[in-house]
Amino acid sequence: MNRLAGPTALGIAALVVLAAGCGDDDVESASPPAGSSDTAAASDEPESGEHVTLRLGYFPNVTHATALVGVEGGLLADSLGDNVTLETSTFNAGGEAVQALFTDAVDATYIGPNPAINGFAKSEGEALRIVSGATSGGAFLVVKPEITSPADLADTTIATPALGNTQDVALRAWLRDKGLSADESGGGDVSIRPQENGATLDSFKAGDIDGAWVPEPWATRLIQEGGGTVLVDERDLWPDGQFVTTHLIVSTKFLDEHPDVVKRLLQGHVAATDFVNANPEESQRLVNDGIEAITQKRMNDEVLAGTWTNLTFTTDPIASSLQKSADDAIAIGLLDDVDLTGIYALDLLNEVLAEAGQPTVTGL
């Protein structure tokens, strides 16, 4: 983990103090961050006085920049204090992260919207709660240059990261709206091929697929490395261009047992969000450092910079977009009817935001 030094460290410490207010897709697991530094948040201990371990998941992906900056910069560990140990694990797919939460392997994780919906539905509303937003935007349908309209997609093959994942649902719903069919077995007017994002880039460059609906940085890589063009910027499909790409979920059990620890996690999360928005260049370095530590590969700096402009980092969970994603998944037959009432638990986040003088957010 890279601790930020010099003036940058002072800036981060200030953000942690501000957030604290007056009180209260196969990678190896990342190593736990080193011990906490002396900040206002770190001087507090869990209300019970016991030592607590918080096991946090996230992805080595730019859409999880808040998590990467929070871990690499020490913000999350610092906010938790001396009596809480932060252990981190990384995942490549939302289903893996939800399964880890189901099996008590993690207590909280950054994740996309549809896996969170699926986990909530499968557990009959018991297993998890969304406690904050993290990222909006950064999903595109990138295609061969000769494809310039929805009609041109007939008899083509389009990739998505996984069957039923967030981008897969978005593509299927968009095709339906355009009068194009696509079934789960790859048939219909458009053949949808769920596959790992790295394989999608190779397939696109080889001409084996005609496009892909993917998150960043893969969309930018398909453009810069594969010569693709954007047919759909998903921001254009949502009010004010805002839709949830990544949010932070916590197991209901951990939230009930350790609300004080979750609040400190959210203090670090808000501080990391503020830092990412205020310091894009330094944040990109931290994100790349984190990705390299997990995958042993760095992103191309030009790709990372291009990706960054397509993302919005926010604590707002953009709840209306979550409901729309669920409705779309139900309409295309990938999700049974589900009532999302209770999926959000935003009281602690709103406490942190109010203490930091920032606007509060709403759920469903």
> How many distinct structural domains can be found in the chain?
2
Instruction: With 0.85 as the threshold, say if the pTM is over it.
Output: no
Is 16 inside any structural domain?
A: yes
Q: Are residues 35 and 123 in the same domain?
A: yes
Q: Are residues 123 and 145 in the same domain?
A: no
Domain boundary among 182, 209, 240: 240
Domain boundary among 206, 240, 274: 240
Element (H, E) at 212: strand 211-215
According to the model, what pLDDT value does residue 50 have?
83
Q: Are residues 253 and 131 in the same domain?
A: yes
Q: Are residues 276 and 212 in the same domain?
A: no
Is 360 inside any structural domain?
A: no
According to the model, what pLDDT value does residue 120 have?
96
Query: Chain-wide mean pLDDT for the chain?
Result: 88
Q: What is the extent of the structural domain holding 118?
A: 6-136+241-355
According to the model, what pLDDT value does residue 34 have?
33
* Residue numbers of the chain with a pLDDT score lower than 70: 1-49
What whole-number percentage of the chain has pLDDT above 90?
83
pLDDT tens sequence across 346-362: 999 999 999 999 999 99
Write the DSSP symbol of residue 162. Answer: S
DSSP SS3 for 165: coil
Tell me how far apart the alpha carbons of residues 155 and 325 are, in angstroms, rounded to a whole number.
26
CATH code of residue 46: 3.40.190.10
According to the model, what pLDDT value does residue 2 have?
52
pLDDT tens sequence across 36-94: 333 333 334 555 568 999 999 999 999 999 999 999 999 999 999 999 999 999 998 88
Tell me how far apart the alpha carbons of residues 153 and 145 are, in angstroms, rounded to a whole number.
12
Is 273 inside any structural domain?
A: yes
Q: Are residues 75 and 211 in the same domain?
A: no
From the CB of residue 363, how many other CB atoms can be counted at a distance below 10 Å? 20
Domain boundary among 172, 205, 240: 240
Q: Are residues 246 and 132 in the same domain?
A: yes
Q: Are residues 225 and 320 in the same domain?
A: no
Q: Are residues 127 and 107 in the same domain?
A: yes
Q: Are residues 306 and 263 in the same domain?
A: yes
Q: Are residues 250 and 231 in the same domain?
A: no
Q: Are residues 22 and 48 in the same domain?
A: yes
